[in-house]
């Protein structure tokens, strides 16, 4: 392990919710929850004001509404989040060629690789400068952790939240880790944590004292050896630049189980077309078509078909997905459907209709956690999602507060305006149409923080930090 804290971990503060607060003056300082708003929706991110009431990422949205009924509940604007994420990643790449994005709002940076930092003072200067640059360019805040390893840098950034910087100096690592929960260490999820707890191991100190042989006996050679090394603060994992995409996929969870087989087939074809649009947007093609079906009883099936060559042809993907559906029993209802493409390449092979009908191998691929972006949905489904941008020919730019019963309520305000007024229109009002997000207002070092200091919750999924 290196002798200076030159690995940086950046985690944007409650990213999705902070973007919404920065975009909408009326929501600043208030509880904001971003995620799926249907009966089976899940929280993607909660603002720090919402976390005070116990709301956190991955929580069922129905539970969040019970905990914080007064909060603003918004549908994610993934395209806008991606554009802001790219601005942040550009700042990181200016520091080092070794940037390892983990999600839209989180990344590791090796500052030593390009000589950006070589000791504790230089690393601290880089971290402080990065935070100032993020605020200046995006108007948002991020927390920075600096340490001699990836594991410790991530722990440091969690301690820095919100909007802070923490450096773990070499030589202090074991003392810092000792009292922490075993769940702090990479690779210790709920199942492993429960297994260790039943063996009487609750803290990192307990792991270190148990010894490597005991951990290998409990967890197996590979996992036990790795966990013991981390308990001693040894983490040699390098920062790996720009992970290569392994698959492109889309999926939808339905508010009400689908029982009609014809409707299921229609949904699969629609998902196949969306998947191909994403594939082409990334300049890729793929050789293996994957269908994912989650049935009424939560059992999940995956089926795949491997073609003789890569394709980005929507007709080929549709036909392959339809054949895969023929092998799945949907009796009882379907709650989730997904279509994906793996075996990615940056070229296509012509005349794949014949290939698609030819021999294919059956495999069970890894399941994807990629959720469909609202902007990929048909216009009828995404017309007035809560939180999304609209424009009125008279009142200008605004955002949807809610809709239903043939009415849509809009608050008219912009990122640099005062909190705006609310007006209600018919959903088919010809003067109202979906709009584009407006740029956020950059903030200088002395500007008011968007996310007030509040008890930090553990970071989890994209945009939740």
User: Active-site residues: which are they?
Assistant: 106
| Residues contacting 36, CB < 8 A, separation 6+ | 42, 44, 61, 75, 253
CA dihedral 59, 60, 64, 66 (to 10 degrees): -140
C-alpha–C-alpha distance, residues 453 and 144, integer Å: 15
| Residues contacting 115, CB < 8 A, separation 6+ | none
Asked if 242 and 99 touch (Cβ cutoff 8 Å), the reply is yes
Q: What residues does 247 pair with on adjacent strands? A: 342
Question: Edge-to-edge, what's the strand order for the sheet holding 43-46?
Answer: 43-46, 32-35, 72-74
Q: Which among 458, 463, 461, 456 is positioned nearest to 161, based on CA atoms?
A: 456
Asked if 51 and 71 touch (Cβ cutoff 8 Å), the reply is no
Taking CA atoms, 370 is separated from 136, 250, 356, in Å, by 31, 6, 25
C-alpha–C-alpha distance, residues 463 and 440, integer Å: 17
């Amino acid at each position: 392990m290196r002798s200076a804290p030159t690995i940086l971990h950046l985690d944007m503060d409650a990213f999705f919710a902070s973007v919404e607060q920065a975009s909408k003056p009326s929501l600043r300082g208030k509880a904001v929850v971003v995620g799926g708003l249907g009966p089976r929706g899940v929280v993607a991110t909660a603002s720090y004001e919402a976390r005070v009431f116990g709301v956190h990422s991955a929580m069922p949205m129905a539970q969040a509404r019970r905990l914080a009924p007064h909060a603003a509940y918004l549908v994610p604007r993934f395209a806008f989040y991606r554009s802001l994420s790219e601005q942040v990643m550009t700042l990181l790449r200016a520091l080092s060629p070794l940037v390892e994005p983990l999600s839209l709002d989180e990344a590791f940076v090796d500052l030593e690789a390009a000589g950006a930092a070589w000791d504790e003072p230089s690393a601290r200067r880089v971290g402080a400068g990065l935070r100032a640059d993020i605020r200046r360019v995006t108007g948002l805040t991020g927390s920075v952790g600096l340490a001699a390893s990836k594991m410790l840098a991530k722990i440091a950034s969690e301690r820095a939240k919100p909007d802070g910087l923490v450096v773990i100096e070499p030589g202090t690592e074991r003392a810092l880790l000792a009292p922490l929960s075993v769940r702090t260490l990479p690779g210790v999820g709920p199942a492993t944590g429960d297994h260790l707890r039943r063996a009487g191991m609750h803290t990192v100190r307990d792991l270190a004292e148990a010894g490597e042989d005991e951990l290998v006996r409990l967890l197996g050679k590979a996992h036990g050896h790795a966990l013991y090394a981390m308990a001693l603060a040894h983490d040699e994992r390098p920062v790996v630049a720009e992970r290569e995409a392994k698959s492109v996929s889309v999926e939808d969870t339905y508010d009400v189980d689908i029982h009609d087989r014809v409707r299921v087939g229609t949904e699969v074809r629609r998902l196949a077309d969306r998947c191909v649009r994403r594939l082409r947007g990334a300049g890729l093609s793929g050789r293996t078509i994957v269908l994912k079906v989650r049935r009424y009883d939560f059992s999940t099936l995956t089926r795949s078909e491997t073609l003789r060559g890569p394709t980005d042809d929507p007709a080929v993907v549709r036909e392959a997905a339809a054949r895969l559906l023929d092998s799945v029993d949907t009796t009882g209802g379907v709650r989730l459907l997904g279509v994906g493409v793996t075996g990615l390449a940056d070229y296509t092979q012509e005349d794949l209709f014949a290939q698609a009908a030819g021999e294919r191998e059956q495999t069970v691929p890894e399941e994807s956690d990629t959720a469909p972006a609202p902007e990929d949905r048909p216009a009828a489904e995404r017309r007035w999602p809560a939180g999304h941008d609209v424009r009125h020919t008279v009142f200008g730019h605004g955002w949807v507060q809610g809709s239903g019963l043939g009415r849509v309520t809009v608050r008219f305000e912009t990122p640099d305006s005062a909190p705006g007024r609310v007006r209600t229109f018919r959903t088919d009002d010809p003067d109202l149409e979906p709009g584009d997000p407006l740029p956020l207002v950059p903030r200088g070092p002395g500007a008011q923080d968007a996310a007030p200091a509040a008890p930090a919750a553990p970071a989890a999924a994209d945009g939740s930090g």
